[in-house]
Structure 1
């Protein structure tokens, strides 16, 4: 069976997500390496992705690590600079699919507060037939229940979904449920997969 709908991850698929790059530019690489070694900022981000309050989570972490208080607060105060930029070719693929009437869904680990900031900066994040955002759902990939929740809300069966994500563990969880998958590494590679699936013509995937 061929794919009938496309499920997009967002971070590192439609917008870049490389927080280390922001901190390297702001405080220098050596200081950033010390900060990330002493404070697990990605852990706090995971809490936000599971529905914890954005500001409170980061500011509480800052108070718990007073030596890095100002730097940690940047994760909240400058989040719109930390995330991005958009990945232009991926955005063109999303728009081409929607232009052909292919159902497109988002399945992303994203906090409630961070998604609000993201949508304000990138309005195209609203351009999905349905969005499944972990912060609102209280569960994050690769937990099987987040995939089950999407399946329960869309008309396509698992084998009719083509899911792309940059993280291998998220892809593996989808494959275990019978989803068709593409491990995202470059937009060009994803474009070729969309053509191979018959969802786009080569000229549409450029």
Structure 2
């Protein structure tokens, strides 16, 4: 089936998302490991992606884990440093697809407040024809509902959608809906897939 729209995940596809790397650098590897072991911060992040207010979520964590107040304040105040840098080749691919006339959508688990922070840092996040952001929709990958929402709103046949994401469970859920998929493990592999699909020339995919 000819691809009629391409969907990008954002974290670790267009922008690196490496919170552990940030904390290793800022507070040291041992303290960082202890923080992630003691505080369910990634579970909190999932709740924010599902729609919980970012500031309120961090405040609640500080109340629950007062011994980690400084680290939680870092998560709140320096969040953008965890979501960095942009993956430049992937951004070029996004723009090349658009220049070639292909509809390009975002499908990403992201909080409302954190997405606004990211938009300021990364203007290319405003370059999609459509964005399907979990917190805005009140549903997250890999739940079936978010894929159904994409299908209903874009009106494109499921097997004409090509989706890339770095998480196998998100890819599996899309494939179960009949989407074409690409498990992202680097921009070079994604570029090669876009060329094989006839969406980009070799030159445009550089």
TM-score normalised by the chain length of structure 1: 0.99
| Distance (Å, rounded) in 2 between the aligned partners of 1:142 and 1:71 | 29
| Distance (Å, rounded) in 1 between the aligned partners of 2:60 and 2:176 | 37
Large movers: runs of 4+ above 3 Å: none
| Distance (Å, rounded) in 2 between the aligned partners of 1:61 and 1:112 | 18
Matched, 1:128 2:123: no
| Distance (Å, rounded) in 2 between the aligned partners of 1:145 and 1:18 | 27
| Distance (Å, rounded) in 2 between the aligned partners of 1:188 and 1:156 | 27
Shift of 1:184: 0.1
Matched, 1:72 2:72: yes
Per-residue CA distance 1:161-190 (angstroms, 9 max, x = gap):
000000000000000000000000010000
| Distance (Å, rounded) in 2 between the aligned partners of 1:73 and 1:143 | 31
Q: Could you say which residue in structure 2 is the equivalent of 1:103?
A: 103
Give unmatched runs, 5+ long, in structure 1: none
RMSD (Å) for aligned C-alpha atoms: 0.6
Per-residue CA distance 1:128-165 (angstroms, 9 max, x = gap):
00000001111110000000001001031110000000
TM-score normalised by the chain length of structure 2: 0.99
Q: Could you say which residue in structure 2 is the equivalent of 1:44?
A: 44
Per-residue CA distance 1:19-50 (angstroms, 9 max, x = gap):
00110111000000000001111100000000
Give unmatched runs, 5+ long, in structure 2: none
Shift of 1:90: 0.2
Matched, 1:154 2:159: no
Secondary structure of 2:85's partner? Answer: strand
| Distance (Å, rounded) in 2 between the aligned partners of 1:198 and 1:190 | 13
Per-residue CA distance 1:56-99 (angstroms, 9 max, x = gap):
10121011101101101211111111111000100000000000
